[in-house]
Structure formats: C-alpha cells, structure tokens
Chains A and B, each alone.
Chain A
Amino acid sequence: MIEFALDSPEVPVGGRLKGTVRWAPAAETKIRRLIIKAGWRTEGRGDEDEQEVFRAEHPGQTVPAGGLVSVAFEVPIPEDGPITYEGKLIRILWAVECELDIPWASDEEKSGPFRVVPRESSR
C-alpha cells in the first residue's frame, strides 16, 4: 500500500509542500514508473475545474519482497493559490497523488489531501 508522509498538512501559497511517498510490496514487483502529481480541483454545484501544478515521473525498478520504495518530493504552490476553500457552492481541494505503473497487474494509486492557506503579508 502507498503511504504519504507530509512534513506539514498545511502549506501557504508560494510555499513548498515537502513529503515522501513510501511503498512496500508483499512480493517482488517490477514497476514501470512511479508518478507523483499534485494539484487542485473544485467540488460543489458547478462543473469541475482542476489544475495540475506538479508532476514528476520516476524510472521503473524491481522491488524485492519486503523492500521499500521511498521517494521524496517537493511541490511548489503558486503565489496566487488558490487556497483551500469550503464555500456554499464551491469547495477547492488540494491533493498529492501517487501512481505506480505495474506491468501485467492493476496499477496502484493513492491520493493524500493537504491544505493550502493564505501566507502572511509581504508588506
């Protein structure tokens, strides 16, 4: 199972979300590639809007049973956000996602939410 370890569940706009993705297979597994991506999407009354702000692809490898894949990532959050928002018609949600592309088997995916908050004034 994929696990996320985030340095902080909150990050201000213009900041960087730092974390690590970990995956330990039960049996020896060959992975074709590992993709980490992050972005925001809207939920609510309106049609969905979404934007991916970060994407990193890591090359494949063979992981032995009991082995551990650990990949650090750092997501730059845009200066203008948007911030995480819970409104009446609109919700804005941020998440980091990991996809493991495994040949001849179901790919593994996991999504981990985090919050983007306003930053302190630069004045």
Chain B
Amino acid sequence: MASHETREGRCVLVDKGDMVAGLVPWLAAALISGVVAFFVFLMGRSTGDFILSLFSLVSLAPAVWFNYQFIRKLLVWMRFEAGELEVTPWPIQMGDTVHLRFRRRVNGKAAVRWIEGSLECLESAGYTEGTSRTTATHLVLNRKFEAVADPMPGPDGALEAEWNVEIPPEGPPSFFAANNRIDWKVVANLVVDGWPDDDSEFALTVIPERAP
C-alpha cells in the first residue's frame, strides 16, 4: 500500500502499488497462469483428450486476465510516477478537517480528463468456516470529493488535486487486529483519454483523540 514520511504535523504518503514493485505480483501471476495454460493445452493436444482440451480453454481465461492486468499496469507505470498524498494535519484526529494534496507526475503527454477522489472507512471481519477463510466487509463511510476536470501538469510535470474533508467526530478510529480491522483510505483515480485509468490508494491512520 503506502509508505509515509512525517514532518511538522503533516505526512506525505506514497502509493507503493504505483511503483515498479507493484508490477511484480502481476508479472508473476501472468507468467504462472500462462505456463499452466500452455502445458494443459500441450497435454490436451498430445493425448487428444476432449476433457483436457476443454480444461485448457478454461485455464486460458485467468492467463488472459492476468496478462491483461500486467500489461495495463505496465502502461500506467510507463506513463505515471507513483502517486503522492500530502495529509495535513498528521496524525489525524476524530473530527479533524483534513487537507489532502494529491500529486502524480506524468512522463510525456497524457490527456488526463479527471482526477477523482474519495475517502473510505471500511470494517473488515475475517472468519473461518471449515477450512476456508472469508472476509466480510462493510463500508462505514464513502465520501466522494469534487472531481478536478482537465488538470494541467505543473512545471515539474505533476498533476495536482486538493481537497478538504472532515473526519466525523464519532470516528471510528483506525483499528488493526488479527481478524478484525477498521481501515481509512483515500483513493485517487486518474481518468485518462486513450490510456488505462489508474487508482492510487493511501491508508490513513485516525487516532482515538477528539479534535478541538
């Protein structure tokens, strides 16, 4: 998710998923699913087994999906640097009005139509049923920010969007345990003409203190 650096009551979060490291899981999944599909296809072809041939077609689906996702991520990574979110104040208290400044540098030209943003608070509860592990989620709060239309890159090539948002006085504060969590996050989405859209996600920490 995001790394962070704090100074003087503000924090700059960087979405690691936008960096080259974010490509690795997609590349691994694309390669593994591609190799599996290839071998199933070869086995089906050599034995002439109808079931195996059918299975090879089915196993092709995840391979296509993972390869599509990897290429999409690669295109985004080539065009955009990792998204950054400056958060003031930091740490965030319940009832704070938080100023968010989102920045993302563009390499070359990109016709960005919109920068959309939202604040989410999510309860997640993990439970075990038999041998399977399931996580139930409930969206406690989802606040969409006013979208920034046709943003122009600044002198350093970065697109910017600024938003102010109030954390409800009743919270809840962030909570992390082995099975249960309460997460706060900001999602910033670039809508680009002729190029894949991309989200940057930033985890916020809301502490159990009431803002003055």
Question: Which residues from chain A sit less than 8 Å from chain B, CB to CB?
Answer: 13, 42, 44-49, 51, 80-83, 85, 87-90, 92, 118-123
Contacts and interface: CB of A to CB of B under 8 A. Distances in A.
A118 B168 CA distance: 13
Contacts of A45: 125, 127, 136
Contacts of A121: 93, 209-212
Nearest to A47: B179
Interface of A is mostly: loop
Given A88-B138, A121-B212, A44 B207 contact: no
A89 B123 contact: yes
The list of the 9 closest CB pairs from A to B, nearest first, reads A46-B125, A49-B177, A45-B125, A89-B125, A47-B179, A118-B208, A46-B179, A81-B208, A46-B180
Given A46-B125, A90-B123, A118 B209 contact: yes
A13 B208 contact: yes
Contacts of A123: 89, 93, 211-212
A87 B138 contact: yes
Interface in B81-129: 89, 93-94, 123-128
B180 A90 contact: yes
B210 A81 contact: no
Given A80-B208, A82-B208, A120-B210, A49 B179 contact: yes
Interface residues on B, range: 20 to 34
B30 interface: no
Interface in B128-155: 128, 136-138, 140
B105 to A, nearest CB: 33
Contacts of A88: 123, 138, 140
Nearest to B136: A45
Nearest to B135: A46
A13 B91 CA distance: 16
A82 B171 CA distance: 12
Given A47-B179, A83-B208, A90-B180, 4 more contacts: A13-B209, A46-B124, A81-B208, A89-B123
Contacts of B172: 83, 85, 87
A35 B109 CA distance: 68
A48 B180 CA distance: 8
A118 B125 contact: no
A68 to B, nearest CB: 37
20 contacts: A42-B180, A46-B125, A46-B126, A46-B180, A48-B179, A49-B178, A80-B207, A81-B173, A87-B140, A89-B137, A90-B123, A92-B175, A118-B171, A118-B209, A119-B208, A120-B209, A120-B210, A121-B210, A123-B89, A123-B211
B210 A82 contact: no
Nearest to B123: A89
Nearest to B172: A85
Contacts of A89: 123-125, 136-138, 180
A65 B94 CA distance: 51
